[in-house]
C-alpha cells in the first residue's frame, strides 16, 4: 500500500494505515512501514511511530523504518554499484556521508551526464533491483535497519 507521508504522520494516520494493511496479512505475516525521515531523526521518530502502529494491531508483527533523509540516499550509499547503469556514469563515487544531504533525487539527476532527471516513479524500481545491498548496508545505517527489519519479518537470521 502506498500512503503519502503526510497522511501517515498525522494523528490517526499510521493507525488507519496499519489497520488496513493488517487486513491483508495472514498467518505469521507482518506489516512494514517505510517512509522518508526528511528532517526528522529516524532514531527518535521511528520508535514513536512504531508505538502508535503496534498499539493498533498488537497481534501482528510491525516494523517501522525511516530512510534517513530519503529513500534515494540508499542509492547514493551504493552508488558505485549503479555505475554505468540507468544513465549513470561509469565512475559513480559514493558521497562521503550519503544520508546527510537533502535532495538526494537532485544529486542523482546531477550525476547523470545528460541531465536526465531522476524520477521516483520511473527510476526507483529499476535501481532497487540492481543496487548492491551489502554496500548500502555498510554505508547507510537506515538501510541496514531496513534490511534487518525485513529479515526479522521474514524470520531470516542476518
> With the C-alpha atoms ordered 82, 83, 84, 89, is the resulting torsion angle positive or negative?
positive
Contact 34, 146 (CB under 8 A): yes
Instruction: Report pLDDT for 83.
Output: 96
Domain ranges in the chain are 5-68, 73-139
Contact 113, 92 (CB under 8 A): no
Instruction: Report pLDDT for 27.
Output: 82
Does the structure show a pLDDT above 80 at 115?
no
pLDDT in tens, 49-106: 999 999 999 999 999 999 999 999 999 999 999 999 999 999 999 999 999 988 999 9
Contact 135, 78 (CB under 8 A): yes
Does the structure show a pLDDT above 80 at 124?
yes
Q: Which helix (H) or strand (E) holds 80?
A: helix 79-82
Instruction: Report pLDDT for 42.
Output: 95
Instruction: Report pLDDT for 67.
Output: 97
Global pTM reads 0.92
Angstrom distance (rounded) from CA 80 to CA 144: 18
For 59-140, where are the E strands, in sequence order? 61-67
Does the structure show a pLDDT above 80 at 33?
yes
Q: Provide DSSP, 119-157.
A: -HHHHHHHHHHHS-HHHHHHH-HHHHHHHHHHHHHHT--
> Could you give the C-alpha distances from 85 to 10, 128, 148, 154, in angstroms and in order?
38, 12, 27, 30
The conformation of residue 115, written as its DSSP 8-state character, comes to -
Mean pLDDT value across residues 134-149:
98
pLDDT in tens, 1-29: 999 999 999 999 999 999 999 999 988 78
Angstrom distance (rounded) from CA 42 to CA 35: 10
Distance between terminal CA atoms of the chain? 26
Q: Rounded to the nearest 5 degrees, what angle is found at the Cα of 21, between the Cα atoms of 4 and 60?
A: 125
Does the structure show a pLDDT above 80 at 158?
no
Amino acid at each position: 500500500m502506498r500512503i503519502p507521508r503526510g497522511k501517515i504522520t498525522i494523528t490517526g494516520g499510521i493507525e488507519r494505515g496499519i489497520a488496513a494493511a493488517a487486513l491483508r496479512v495472514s498467518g505469521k505475516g507482518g506489516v512494514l512501514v517505510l517512509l522518508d525521515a526528511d528532517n526528522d531523526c529516524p532514531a527518535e521518530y521511528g520508535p514513536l511511530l512504531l508505538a502508535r502502529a503496534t498499539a493498533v494491531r498488537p497481534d501482528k508483527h510491525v516494523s517501522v523504518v525511516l530512510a534517513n533523509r530519503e529513500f534515494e540516499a540508499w542509492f547514493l550509499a551504493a552508488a558505485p554499484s549503479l555505475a554505468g547503469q540507468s544513465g549513470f556514469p561509469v565512475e559513480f563515487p559514493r558521497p562521503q556521508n550519503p544520508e546527510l544531504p537533502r535532495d538526494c533525487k537532485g544529486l542523482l539527476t546531477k550525476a547523470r551526464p545528460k541531465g536526465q532527471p531522476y524520477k521516483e516513479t520511473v527510476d526507483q524500481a529499476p535501481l532497487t533491483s540492481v543496487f548492491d545491498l551489502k554496500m548500502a548496508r555498510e554505508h547507510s545505517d537506515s538501510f541496514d535497519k531496513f534490511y534487518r527489519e525485513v529479515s526479522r519479518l521474514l524470520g531470516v537470521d542476518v
